[in-house]
Chains A and B, each alone.
Chain A
């Protein structure tokens, strides 16, 4: 059974950093694109970042480029999102997903709140 379990969310001050983790089970992350998608309170779904199967090609929405870094650890079968220079507008529920299109598998989400 495919499962994605996120952790690492929390309350952080503007300008601060946070690292989200996503442990995958039931499949090998190196065989799939993996992504992060977020939903801010009262807003729609927004793609944040994706990493290709090769682990080298990474893609980001313009608003997080240079601040966020997507990475993975194949030994731990885990996906990460390092978030630096956080802003109030980064407040959202962050979902880890398998794939970047036609996404069938989603985690339960990790809540990130950026506030002073």
Chain B
């Protein structure tokens, strides 16, 4: 089955840039979606289809996807960005939705 690998944690100071990776075999051939998950709240899509932002998501959030790695980039990080972030794809070969293990973003 298809596996998505994320770093368990990323730390960044306020105002800096956070980059969260999502590795998968030839992930560049798939559409990658990113979700922000805060305790007590439902997940929120922050990037879908590799690079698109859903309505209401700040321009500080961006995505890229090529080769074996997709990346979520958050510029000018704020305290409110502290959350768990998950990447996700649809694996057509197994007909499964796959989530990465999640990355805890800590704002120092």
Is B one of A's binding partners? yes
Residues of chain A whose beta carbon lies under 8 Å from any beta carbon of chain B: 35, 37, 39, 44-47, 50, 59, 61-62, 95, 100-104, 106-109
B106 contacts the other chain (Cβ, under 8 Å)? no
**Closest Cβ neighbor of A109 among chain B residues:** B42
CA distance A107 to B42 in the complex (A): 7
Q: Does A101 lie within 8 Å of B42, measured CB to CB? A: no
CA distance A22 to B25 in the complex (A): 34
Q: A47-B97, A103-B33 are in contact. Are A95 and B42 (CB under 8 A)?
A: yes
Q: Does A103 lie within 8 Å of B90, measured CB to CB? A: no
Q: Does B99 lie within 8 Å of A50, measured CB to CB? A: no
**For A95, what are the chain B residues with a Cβ–Cβ distance below 8 Å?**
42-43
15 A-B contact pairs sorted by A residue (CB < 8 Å): A37-B99, A39-B37, A44-B101, A45-B35, A47-B99, A95-B42, A95-B43, A100-B97, A101-B48, A102-B45, A102-B48, A102-B49, A103-B45, A103-B88, A104-B48
Closest 10 A/B residue pairs (Cβ)? A102-B48, A47-B97, A106-B42, A44-B102, A102-B33, A45-B99, A101-B90, A59-B95, A104-B45, A45-B86
Q: Does B97 lie within 8 Å of A50, measured CB to CB? A: yes
